Every structure is written in structure tokens, then in C-alpha cells.
Structure 1
Amino acid sequence: MSQEPPAGPTAEAHDGPPEPSSIATRAPEKAKLNLRVFVPAALGIVAVTLWAMLAPTRAYETIVAIVSWISKNLGWYYILTATAVIVFVIFIAVSRVGTTRLGPNHSKPQYSLFSWTAMLFAAGIGIDLMFYSVAEPVTQYYGPPSGPGETVPAAEQAVVWTLFHYGVTGWAMYALMGIAFAYFAYRFNMPLSIRSALYPIIGRRVHGAAGDAVDTAALLGTIFGIATSLGIGVVQLNYGLLLLFGVPEGIGAQIGLIALAVIMATVSAVAGIDKGIRRMSELNVLLAIGILVYITITGQTAFLMDALVLNVGDYLSGFADMTLNTFGFDRPDQWMMDWTLFFWAWWIAWAPFVGLFLARISRGRTIRQFVAGTLTVPFLFILVWISVFGNSALRRVLGGNDEFGQTAMNTPERAFYSLLEQYPGAPPLIAVATFTGLLFYVTSADSGALVMSTFSSTIEDPRRDGAIPIRIFWSVTTGALTLAMLLAGGIFTLQYATIIIGLPFSVVMYLIMFGLYRSLRFEAAQADSLGVAMPGALSGRAGDGPPRGWRQRLARAMSYPGPKQTQRYMDTVALPAATEVADELRDQGADVELTDGPVDGVGVSQLCLTVHLPHERDFRYQIYPVEHATPTYAPRAQSTDDRYFRLEVCNLTGSHGYDLLGYSKDQIITDILDHYERHLAFLHLQRELPGTSAMASGAGAPADWSTDFVSSKEHSG
């Protein structure tokens, strides 16, 4: 059954063509607190926090009992879910829809590759990487899931299991959520929330209780996932301060660290992505690379390189087996609960948080670029980091330093620093590592506060974030929850709580895969319509237009019209052509809307012809002025202005990339009809797809493309 399209964003959402008549009159709407999400989530978190603080023993015992049941009865489900996500994201990346942009067709990436991957890495992996890169390989060496420990084969597999838990499986979960967020927000002008990804399945019900429940589950998963990472960071940084300044380990110092992190995270979250999070992320990555290079050079470099190559081979060859290994016969339930199940639940809990953050910084990239970057770039760094630090630790244990091994296994918060103590220049190295860990800690907390403020708000503009007071609230609440869980049993309580909270959201991930698959089928149908449109369709495209005299073609090629000339063309040629088509469509019984009006800050108008089709996706043909700097090679007669305009043809998903300016009225009419015939062909093809989807009737609403076109102008400058 087709659904009615949802309410779309404002004209300032920067995701599609604006309604011309409203460009100059509609003011940007501010983010509004969604009490139906905020109140139940806040009450639930406050309740858990108070329970853990007032009855820590009882809280710990209850959490352990629930996790034990999950481990014994639902371990297979976590394994299957992780595998399904990997297969799905790789499938859509390599398929024909992989070239679909996470935004309008003409959009460009906002951030450079380094800035993008730095923010991705710093948000997706926190201080826990420093924690587990030494502690897990040593622990796996002493107690592997199968076979005897304290052997050379156990040492070889120890790092591989760590790589597996930090490998592409978790990043595939991030990629899934990031694609869903960005695709529906930037391509269909829907709110940047999880509920938007469910629109193809349940339609307008995403605006009701079902959508609120999904966003609440995502918010709860996010705060528990972040609290786990912050709890790990607190105990580890506490030991670093003990080594540097003699600060004793204990709850007092940990409260101070939590308070410091909350303050820093709040300041960064309030500053926003560009001023706060991006700069801290880039510094974070540079410092981490510096530590990595120092350990590699001052350690046993040849051994570390040999071990790295060995680890890569073992990881690649054993990936499929590890991915689907439920240990059905061996039944190491405690090992599964402490490691694989915990990590998969942790990734699931972090997926909405990191996915939304990735969507905020990935506008304009294709699905294929997004998946390739998310699965490879951060993991390559993780691969080298874990291999260098893990093998460095194992080398010392195999060399007879059992005391170090026992320390790393029994007090994992000391493992990383205990390794650094054995290198030259340990004090300054530990100081840099502590500062790096603090940045890891803060970049996770500030990104989390920013994302949770979005989850708990109603934001029509995907470029906006939640209000500053809401960011502050979630920053403080995350710190309080972290402290409560530490009081209730420390790191293990945080780990087990994450396994519990990740279970319900895993169901949402299946729904997201289903909804995204349905929507991407329509992308494929839209592409197929190009080949089955009526003869002459698309004849208005550049290079394929109706016959023009050679002088007309040359004059058009040599023309760089300024704002006055462009506006005159719009008034005397484009608007009359669109008006004739609109009038004829109305005479044929169609529901047609033709609007024109100025584009704010440009000085040239644009027009939009929309044919409303009941229970189907509307047809839209828009002529939009795109400003460029006049090139130096322009003829003097055409370069009286320092800027010139192209009139690009756009539809619901962005610009088609060709310039209409200079076409005759008949040629414009032909171009409009070509696009209309193509749209009708698309509607015919999508009707033959199995199943139904609310996306068939369209989603979102027109929005302002100015940001995307400015980006294009800067790239072509």
C-alpha cells in the first residue's frame, strides 16, 4: 500500500531545490526538543544510574545474570547479525547502486580525505584501542578460545583475534548506519534520524510512536556504548597519572577525570564539528601516529614487520571461519561473553552514534566511496597499531617476562603503560600517550553529546545539530552514567550492560537493511528508465539537443552571461516555455504547479515545474542558476562581469549537470517533455518491482541547493 509523503524540511535544508515562492520568505527553523524521545530516554538512564549507585552489588548481579543467558542462548544471533551486515554493505557498494551519491547528484564532499578519515577514526574508535591493543593479545595468549595457551600458535592467533574484534565487521555496522542516515537525509530531504530509514517500510508512521521508539533505542544504545569506552578510558588514564604525577588510583581520581572530560567534551560539542571536533580529531590522529612510529623504530623493527605481514595473512585466511564461528561444540561461553559477543554488541551500540556522525561529515560521497573508505582506511591504521603494540607485548612475554604478562591480563588498565615503561624515554612517551588518550576520550564524548542531542530533537535541516543546552545535558549525563557503572562493578559491568542494550537495537539494524534495500531498488529503476524512455528522450541533454545552427552553437559556447543577461533569458525564454507546458498539462487534466522566484543572495530567479501524481513520486523539472567565476580566457565582450551563470536542469535528486542557457523556447519544451517521459518510464519500472515501498510516493520536500552548488563552484574555481 502506498503511503503519503512525509513532511519535508525547510527551504534552508541544503538538500534539494527550494520552493521558489518561499526562498526569500521562509526563515530557518531551529531544532526543537522531542519530548517523546528525550523524556523516556532521560528517565531510563537516570533510573539505571541511581540503581547502580544505590545498589551496586544487586545491579552487578542482575546484569551478569542477563548477559549469561544471552551468551548461552543468543550468541548465534549476534554472530549472524554481524555477518549479515558485512555482506549487505559490501553488496550494495559493488552493485550498480554503489555510484549513488549521499546527497544530490551534483554534491561534492565537504571535507578532505584526511579530515574525513581523522574524524571517522577518532569518533569510531576511542581510548579503548590503546586499552585492548596490549591487554587483549596477552590475555588471548594465556587463555585462547580453543587449544592450549602459552604456545607459539596461541601467540600467533592472539593478535589475529584482536584484529578480528576491531576489524571490518564493526566498521561495516558503522557503514550501514552512515549510509542510511546520509541517504535519506541528503537525497530525500528527510530528517537526519534513524526513523527516516524506516520510512520505506512503515511510511508516515515514522513520525509517530514507532519512530520515537526507534530513536529512543538508538539513544540508549549510544549512551551505554560511549559510557563503556569512557569507563575504560578513566581507569587507564588514572594509571597514567599515577606514573606521571603520583595520583593514586581510585574512585576520587576517576571522578576528577570524568569531570575534566565532561568539561572538555562540552566545550568541544558546543563549538561544533568544524571548530571543535575536527581539529581535535586531526591532532588526535597525528599524536597516535607519532607514538606508533616511535615504538616501531625503537623496538624490534624487523620482528614487528615480519609479524605484521603474518598477522595480515592469518586474518585474511581465517576471516570467514572466525566470522561464523559460534564454538557450538567447544562452548567457551565465558570467553564469548567477554570478547566476541561483547565487541559485537559494543559495535552495535556505537553504530547509530558513529553512523549519524559519519553522515554529518560524508555528504556528497558515493555509497561506494563511503563503504570503501569506512571499511579500509581506519582499519589499516588499526591493523598496524594492534600488530605493533600487540606483538611488542607478546615478544616480551615469550621472552620470559611473565610478570608483565600477568599484569597485562589481570589489570588490563595498566597493560599499555606497562609496555611503554620498557622503552627509552618512557616518561615523555607516557605523557604524550596520556594526552593522546585524553583526546581519544574527549573526541568520543563530544561527538556522542552532539549526536545524542540530534537523536532527542526534531531537526528538519540535516545540516543542523541539537540545541546547545541539550548537548550539555547529554555530556553531563554520560559522565554520570559512566561513574555509576564504575561504582557498580567497574569495567565488566559496563561491558555486560552494553551486551544487553545492543540486543534490541540489532533488530532495528535488520529493518534498516530492509528499508535501504527497498529504496535502492528505486534508484536502479530510475537508472533503467533512461534506457526505455520514448525515442528522443533526453534529447535536451548537452551534446544531444535538437538541431541548432552552427552559429547558435558557437555563440552559446562563447557566452559567459552575467546576472542581468541570465535573468532576461529566464523571463523571456525559460519561463514562457515552462508556462506553455504547464498550461497544456493542465488542459490534459494533470495537477501542475509552476513557481518562480529569486534565489537568495544570487540575484537571479529560478523556476520549478511540478506535476503532482497521487500515490506516486512527483515529477519535478527545475531550472536553477549556478554561479561561477568568469574564466580568464572568456572573450572581453562576454566578460564584463566577474561572474557568470549556468542554468542547470535539476530534478528531485539533484542536477543533471548540463547548461540550458541559450536553448530556444522549443528546445526547452522538448527537454521538459523528455524528462517527463523518462519519469513516466521510471514509474512503470518501479511498479514491477516485488513488494511495495513508501518511497514510491516520494519523501521529503524541496530544499535549498546553494551549499552544494557553492561547493561545486569552489571545486571548479
Structure 2
Amino acid sequence: MPQDTPAEPRPAGQTTFLPEEAERFPESPQSPGSSLNAVFWSSVTLIVAFIAVAGFWPERMNTAASAAMNWVTATSGWSLLIIPLALIGLLLVLAFTRFGRIRLGPDDSRPEYPTYAWIAMLLGAVMGIGLITYGVAEPVSHLFDPPHGLTEAGSQEAVIDALRFTFLDWGIHAWAVFAIFGLAIGYSTHRLGNKGLVSPILRPLIGRHADGAVGKTVDVMVIVSTLFGTTTSLGLGAAQISQGLSQITGLELTTSGVQISIIALITLIFTASAMSGVGRGIRYLSQTTMVLAAALLIFVLLAGPTSWLINIFFRSLGSYAGGFVEISLMLPTEADDLQWMQWWTYFMMAWWISWGAFVGVFLARISRGRTIRQFVLVVLGVPSLVFSLWFSVFGGSAMWMDLERGTGIGEAAVEDVNTAFFGLLDQLPLTALTSVVAVVLVVLYFVTGADSNTYVLSVISSDGRMNPQRSVMGVWGVLTGATAAVLLYAGGLQALQTVVMLSAAPFIFVILALAVSLVMMLRRDPLVLKS
């Protein structure tokens, strides 16, 4: 197998993989035609059945899914907050004890990438459509609909609360989910030589069943959950593209028909890209995306109320850190509060869980040779801090404009989150240029993210083969686009959020099993046994 070349970050809604990077995850010993296995057929059957139900009976599907979501969140929604908090504690224990010295690879292995490049790839891992859709919408919505009713809507106190609860949704809790997957997969593949799948990691806990029906069921759950997480990003992306085009052209292009057409067109592009194996162009697109995102951030910081933004960033960060445990355990106590949690915190946590295995494989891929201590501290800390800055600048600018100029961005966002980002740009200089940049960003996130998703789903459904058949990638490309289009048709953003929460609910048990298995593996590590 050829040696890897240094991988460059490709932002995806949410991560990046290239077929020619055929990483050092071991190939499975299988015949060329055996990639179409039970995992593939089971996953495809489930997704096709879902598309059929949602397409032919959208109202029934929405009614049943909403009822199921209400029951799940009312009875076990607490787990979406408690489990990520527990994972944070576990990861910190691993980092600051003797386990922290263990490397993700042999004892003499060293990092493949310089620290600055590694951190850049970490930031690219989850930078995507969500940061455009919610970068303005979440904080400014919280300003006029305060979380848990803790502050008065539109007050200065509500500004700080809006940001610290946004940090809760996008910060350390999310990265703890990614980190536990990344750490487990990285240890399993780089140090133990297993395939780059979730099922082999569970071998210490369930023994030979990890290689049988139970293991295959886990891999199917990974595929289904990941696909729904991806289609949510694609649905949001289509809505953002149509909103941006409407602002640029002055035409009404925000209808579901236009959004489905956008999904269809870009599905053709990313499916062809994945099947062709052409990756170098995507790498350059990824670098371009990172530069454009940074430039847009700096522009808004300088064009907006700069000093005010810096002040609220540090105040909100301090408030978030000081009340970290309190807000991490703030669960709903009444029906209205539960509904708010379903729309925001519960949905966000479920979204991260659905992306956990996908992002985890990427983090494992780029972290070979890192110690557990390095991995945990950087993965939990750096992206959380950078994302907090992003929301402070974009969301903070919108809140300032609503409070000082009465621009109405927040009120519009409460009705439709897709209007918020372009509503902010409309209040700043160079609106036409920045709107075009934002649309280009979403398109690039859309294509690179879906391309990555298609490749990784193909790998997982091909028993870990790093060079899956093109026909398999074609199937997953089409199913990804079809699922996103059907969900938009069936119920828009609410349908997207509902299926993410429902697919993440059973996956919580996989996360718990993964954490237990990881600890069991680490306790048997030769470096630990010798100490």
C-alpha cells in the first residue's frame, strides 16, 4: 500500500476523506466482490424503506415521528446532556492519569502532521453548513426567546445567556462525543491493528459477538445515524443556498421545490466526485473554504461593533465556564421548556451523536502518533474556543444591531432560522459581495461534506475496505441526496431535526458501550501494565 501524503483539511458538513488516501487502517481480508455484505444490504433496505414511507405518506410519517420524538425526549432526553458530560469527565481522567502517556500507535510512533496542521484539520472537521445556518440564528433567537426563561428577552443579561447556551450546544459537549469516538477508533486501529470500524472496538465487552450479528447491527446503526446527520446538513445547506440566492437576485427562491432542485443538482456533483476518485481538486476547494470562512469572520468583526464583540466574547466565555456544571444539568421542567430543548439543545446533542463515528474516524485518521493527553486536551479545547469566537462575532453582531438599531434579525430568526445569516450581512457594508461569499461557502461545504459522507458510508458498508466499489459509492450518494430531499418535502427543518433525534436515541447505547470497551482496552495496555 503506498505511503500517505500529508492530508490537507477539507471542511465538511462535516469531515473529509479521499479515496486515494487509503489510510493505514488495516484492509479486511475479503474477496473483491464481497463488499456487498449484510451490512450494506441491511442499511440500504432500511434507508429505502424510510424514503418510501416519507415520500408516499409524509403526514403519517411526521405524526408518528413527532410522537416518537416527544416520548423519547420526555423519557430519556436527559441522557443527551448527562452522557456528554460524563464523557468529558472520563476523557479528562484519561488525559491526566497514567493513560495519558499512551500513544495512538506503537510506543515509538510520532505524529504524522505538525501540530499547527493537525489543529487546522481538527477545525475543518466540523466546520460546515451548521456554522452558517446557526452562526447568527441561534444566539439572536435566544436573545428574544431566552433559554429556560432565565433572563428578560432583549436585555443585556439575555445577550450573555444567549451566547453561553450557544457555547453549550457547540462546545465541549459536542467535542467530547467526537473525541471518545476518535480516541477509541484511533487506539483500536493504530495501536491494536483492527479495521477502521466501530464494531471491533466492542470486542472486549461482547467478545466474539463483535464479529457476528451484534457487530453488524452496530455498524448498520453507525451508517443510518451518520446518514441522517448528513442529510440534516444537506437540507440546511439547500435552505441557505436558496435564501442567499433570493437575497442576491431579489427573486423568491426559498420554496421547497427550489431547495429540492438544489439538492438534486449538487447530489449529481458530489456523487460523481466520490465515484471518480478525483480528490486533489476537492483538497484545494477545502483550503479555499477555510480561507473564505476566516476572511468573512474578520470582516464581520471589523465592520461590526468590534470592541463590544470582544467584551461580550470574554464575558460570555467566563459565564459559560463559571456555570458550566449548572447549565450542563439544566433539564426541562415543563412542556414549553421541553419543546424549547427539542428545538435547540436536544437536537444539537443528537446531531453531534449522529456525527460521532464519522468525525471519530477522521480524528483517528489524523492523530496517529499523538498521546492520549495531547489528543484529549486539544480536541476538547481548541475547536470549542474557536467556535465560541465564531458565534460571538456573528451572533453578537446581530444582537447588537437588534438592540441598538432595531433591525429585527432576531424576530425573523425565531420564525425562520434560514433568514438570520443573510439578514446580518444585509446590515453590513458590501452586502452583495459578502452574500455571494456566504453562498459559495455553503455550496463548498455541501459538496465536500457530502462527498466525504459518500466515501465513508461506502467504507463502513464494505467491511472497512478503504477502496470500496464505485457502485457502492454511487448508491450512497443517491441515497444521501434522496433522503435529504424527501425530508424537506415531508416536513422541512422540523422533519430533519426529528429524524436526527430518533436515530441518535439508540446510538447512545453504542456510545456507552464504546466508552466501557475503551477503558477495558486501555487497562490491558502494556504501557499501563508496566507502570
Same-fold status (TM-score > 0.5): yes
Q: Specify which of 490, 496, 499 is matched with residue 497 of structure 1.
A: 499
Q: Which residue does 1:455 correspond to in 2?
A: 460
Q: Specify which of 277, 281, 293 is matched with residue 288 of structure 1.
A: 293
Q: CA offset at residue 120 of structure 1?
A: 3.2
Q: Specify which of 316, 327, 338 is matched with residue 343 of structure 2.
A: 338
1-structure distance, mates of 2:269, 2:99 = 41
2-structure distance, mates of 1:168, 1:131 = 20
Q: Which residue does 1:105 correspond to in 2?
A: 107
Return closer, same or farther for 1:267/1:103 CA change in 2, 3 Å cut-off. farther
Q: CA offset at residue 31 of structure 1?
A: 8.5
> 1:571-627 deviations in whole A, cap 9, x for unaligned?
xxxxxxxxxxxxxxxxxxxxxxxxxxxxxxxxxxxxxxxxxxxxxxxxxxxxxxxxx
2-structure distance, mates of 1:459, 1:80 = 31
Q: Contact 1:31 / 1:458 at 8 angstroms: preserved in 2?
A: no
Paired amino acid for 1:475: G
1-structure distance, mates of 2:196, 2:119 = 21
Q: Specify which of 146, 149, 155 is matched with residue 146 of structure 1.
A: 149
Q: Which residue does 1:562 correspond to in 2?
A: none
Q: CA offset at residue 311 of structure 1?
A: 1.4
Q: Which residue does 1:244 correspond to in 2?
A: 248
Return closer, same or farther for 1:92/1:268 CA change in 2, 3 Å cut-off. farther
Q: Which residue does 1:40 correspond to in 2?
A: 42
> 1:198-244 deviations in whole A, cap 9, x for unaligned?
01112222111011000001110000011111111110111111122
Return closer, same or farther for 1:123/1:528 CA change in 2, 3 Å cut-off. closer
Q: Which residue does 1:397 correspond to in 2?
A: 402
The 5 Å alignment of 1:601-640 reads none
1-structure distance, mates of 2:454, 2:232 = 15
Q: Contact 2:65 / 2:499 at 8 angstroms: preserved in 1?
A: yes
Paired amino acid for 1:225: G
Matched-pair identity in %: 35
1-structure distance, mates of 2:263, 2:479 = 11
Paired amino acid for 1:53: G
Return closer, same or farther for 1:127/1:13 CA change in 2, 3 Å cut-off. closer
Return closer, same or farther for 1:506/1:315 CA change in 2, 3 Å cut-off. same
Q: Which SS does the other structure have where 1:327 is aligned?
A: coil
Q: CA offset at residue 272 of structure 1?
A: 5.8
Q: Which residue does 1:348 correspond to in 2?
A: 353
2-structure distance, mates of 1:365, 1:273 = 29
Return closer, same or farther for 1:253/1:351 CA change in 2, 3 Å cut-off. same
Between Structure 1 and Structure 2, which shows a larger proportion of strand residues?
Answer: 1
Q: CA offset at residue 108 of structure 1?
A: 3.2
Q: Which residue does 1:643 correspond to in 2?
A: none
The 5 Å alignment of 1:602-681 reads none
The 5 Å alignment of 1:217-366 reads 217-246=221-250, 248-270=253-275, 275=280, 278-328=283-333, 332-366=337-371
2-structure distance, mates of 1:73, 1:253 = 38
Q: Contact 1:119 / 1:277 at 8 angstroms: preserved in 2?
A: no
Q: Contact 1:118 / 1:281 at 8 angstroms: preserved in 2?
A: no
Q: Specify which of 59, 64, 79 is matched with residue 62 of structure 1.
A: 64
Q: CA offset at residue 60 of structure 1?
A: 1.3
> 1:262-319 deviations in whole A, cap 9, x for unaligned?
2342354346696355433322221100000011111111111111111111111111
Q: Contact 2:164 / 2:319 at 8 angstroms: preserved in 1?
A: yes
Q: CA offset at residue 193 of structure 1?
A: 0.3
Counterpart check, 1:375 vs 2:377: no
Q: Specify which of 189, 206, 231 is matched with residue 210 of structure 2.
A: 206
Return closer, same or farther for 1:482/1:302 CA change in 2, 3 Å cut-off. same
Residues 270-279 or 335-344, more deviating: 270-279
Q: CA offset at residue 329 of structure 1?
A: 6.8
Q: Which residue does 1:131 correspond to in 2?
A: 133
Q: Which SS does the other structure have where 2:350 is aligned?
A: helix
> 1:351-373 deviations in whole A, cap 9, x for unaligned?
01111122222222222222222
2-structure distance, mates of 1:146, 1:179 = 37
Residues 102-111 or 367-376, more deviating: 102-111
Q: Which residue does 1:7 correspond to in 2?
A: none
Q: Specify which of 466, 485, 488 is matched with residue 486 of structure 1.
A: 488
Q: CA offset at residue 178 of structure 1?
A: 0.8
Return closer, same or farther for 1:31/1:386 CA change in 2, 3 Å cut-off. farther
Q: Which SS does the other structure have where 1:162 is aligned?
A: helix
Q: CA offset at residue 402 of structure 1?
A: 5.1
1-structure distance, mates of 2:61, 2:67 = 10
Q: Which residue does 1:673 correspond to in 2?
A: none
Return closer, same or farther for 1:239/1:98 CA change in 2, 3 Å cut-off. same
Q: Which residue does 1:73 correspond to in 2?
A: 75
Return closer, same or farther for 1:265/1:111 CA change in 2, 3 Å cut-off. farther
Q: Contact 1:103 / 1:183 at 8 angstroms: preserved in 2?
A: yes
Paired amino acid for 1:236: Q
- Of the two, which has the highest radius of gyration? 1
> 1:636-681 deviations in whole A, cap 9, x for unaligned?
xxxxxxxxxxxxxxxxxxxxxxxxxxxxxxxxxxxxxxxxxxxxxx
Q: Specify which of 188, 193, 197 is matched with residue 189 of structure 1.
A: 193
Segments of 5+ residues of structure 1 without an aligned counterpart are 1-11, 17-25, 532-717
1-structure distance, mates of 2:73, 2:370 = 38
1-structure distance, mates of 2:273, 2:370 = 26
Paired amino acid for 1:188: L
2-structure distance, mates of 1:94, 1:265 = 42
Q: Which residue does 2:8 correspond to in 1?
A: none
Q: CA offset at residue 444 of structure 1?
A: 2.0
Return closer, same or farther for 1:312/1:432 CA change in 2, 3 Å cut-off. same
> Could you tell me the TM-score, scaled by structure 1's length?
0.67
Q: Which SS does the other structure have where 1:332 is aligned?
A: helix
Return closer, same or farther for 1:257/1:277 CA change in 2, 3 Å cut-off. same
> 1:410-457 deviations in whole A, cap 9, x for unaligned?
121011001001111111111111111212222321221121112101
Return closer, same or farther for 1:254/1:13 CA change in 2, 3 Å cut-off. closer
2-structure distance, mates of 1:238, 1:115 = 34
Q: Specify which of 515, 518, 521 is matched with residue 516 of structure 1.
A: 518
2-structure distance, mates of 1:106, 1:267 = 40
Paired amino acid for 1:126: G
2-structure distance, mates of 1:272, 1:361 = 20
1-structure distance, mates of 2:268, 2:256 = 18
Return closer, same or farther for 1:276/1:288 CA change in 2, 3 Å cut-off. same
Q: Contact 2:102 / 2:527 at 8 angstroms: preserved in 1?
A: no
Return closer, same or farther for 1:107/1:257 CA change in 2, 3 Å cut-off. farther
Paired amino acid for 1:154: A
Q: Which residue does 2:165 correspond to in 1?
A: 161
Return closer, same or farther for 1:13/1:340 CA change in 2, 3 Å cut-off. closer
Q: Which residue does 1:173 correspond to in 2?
A: 177
Paired amino acid for 2:477: S
1-structure distance, mates of 2:45, 2:105 = 36
Between Structure 1 and Structure 2, which shows a larger proportion of helix residues?
Answer: 2
Q: Contact 1:109 / 1:364 at 8 angstroms: preserved in 2?
A: yes
Q: Which SS does the other structure have where 1:459 is aligned?
A: coil
Q: Which residue does 1:9 correspond to in 2?
A: none
With CA pairs under 8 Å and 6+ residues apart, which has the higher RCO, 1 or 2? Answer: 2
> Could you tell me the TM-score, scaled by structure 2's length?
0.90
Paired amino acid for 2:207: G
